[in-house]
Amino acid sequence: MKKYILNNLFSCFFGFFLIFSSLASAESVESVLDVTEEDFIIGDENAPITIIEYASLSCSHCADFHINKLPELIKEFVDTGKAKIVFRDFPFNYPALLGSMALRCVPRDIRYEYSNALYQLQSKWVFRENAKTTQELYKIMQSGGMTKERFNECIDNADLENEILQGVMASQSEFNIKSTPSFLVNGILIEGSKPIKDFRQIIDKILSEQ
User: How many whole angstroms separate alpha carbon 33 and alpha carbon 35?
Assistant: 6
What's the CATH code of the domain at 128?
3.40.30.10
Is 60 within 8 Å of 130 (Cβ atoms)? no
Partner residues linked to 89 by β-bridges: 55
Query: What pLDDT digit, counting tens, does each position of 179-198 carry?
Result: 999 999 999 999 999 999 99
> What percent of the chain lies above the pLDDT cut of 90?
85
Domain count for the chain, please give it.
1
Question: pLDDT tens-digit profile of 1-29?
Answer: 444 344 444 444 434 443 444 344 334 45
pTM value is 0.86
Mean pLDDT over residues 38-64, rounded?
Answer: 97
Quote the domain boundaries for residue 175.
Answer: 3-208
**Burial profile 1-16: b = 16 or more Cβ within 10 angstroms, e = fewer:** eeeebbeebeeebeeb
Distance CA 107, CA 134 (A): 20
Confidence band, pLDDT 50/70/90 cuts, at residue 30: confident
